[in-house]
Amino acid sequence: MSRWYIIHAYSGFENKVREQILSDAQRLGLENMVESVEVPTEKVTEIRRGKKVTSDRKFFPGYVLAKLAMSDQVYHLVKNTPKVTGFLGPNGKPQPISEAEAARILNTKEEAAAAAPKQKVKVDYEIGDAVKVLDGPFASFNGVVEELDFDRSRVKVSVSIFGRATPVELEFEQVERAK
């Protein structure tokens, strides 16, 4: 019977570990015992140079989920995979997690795809930073960030118009950090 296990790997090598486990299982004829190997990721929208960029971000860096029919062969297959430090569990012994817990971890991918507007947005400026307006009627104006509204993807910037500070609400991608 297959159960979900969490494998600890070197951070940054999760996808290589996944590919290596799957290819080794096929090479050794254990593919029926290695049902699934997943790297938990989520979609993140970042603002880079005024453009929205969507990328995948690992939300459990250094961990890989695998649905395995645990046996000595499968244990050694995973344990001897390069860049794997072991299983998550007491004293490094494989401790299975519940189906519900695995579904909760893995469904965050599908939930992120289904709730596209609710993706996390990452901006390279914060409250108090000097920014330059790139687009709209205030293009080429400089200002200071007063508020960040991640729910609506909007930023409030204090712009100097005719010598007076005026608050202006803009989209995240209309603003970039002043250089």
Q: Where do the domains of the chain lie, and which CATH numbers do they carry?
A: 3-106 (3.30.70.940), 129-177 (2.30.30.30)
Closest CA to 171 of 54, 163, 137: 137
Most distant pair of Cα atoms in the chain: their distance:
75
For residue 112, the model assigns a pLDDT of 46
pTM above 0.75, yes or no: no
Token pair in block for residue 64: 């890989």
Where on the phi/psi map is residue 163: left (φ > 0), alpha (ψ -120 to 50), or beta?
left
Q: Average pLDDT of each block of 10 consecutive residues along the chain (179 residues)?
A: 91 93 93 90 77 81 92 93 91 86 73 50 85 87 90 88 88 86
Helix (H, G, I), strand (E, B) or coil at 26: helix
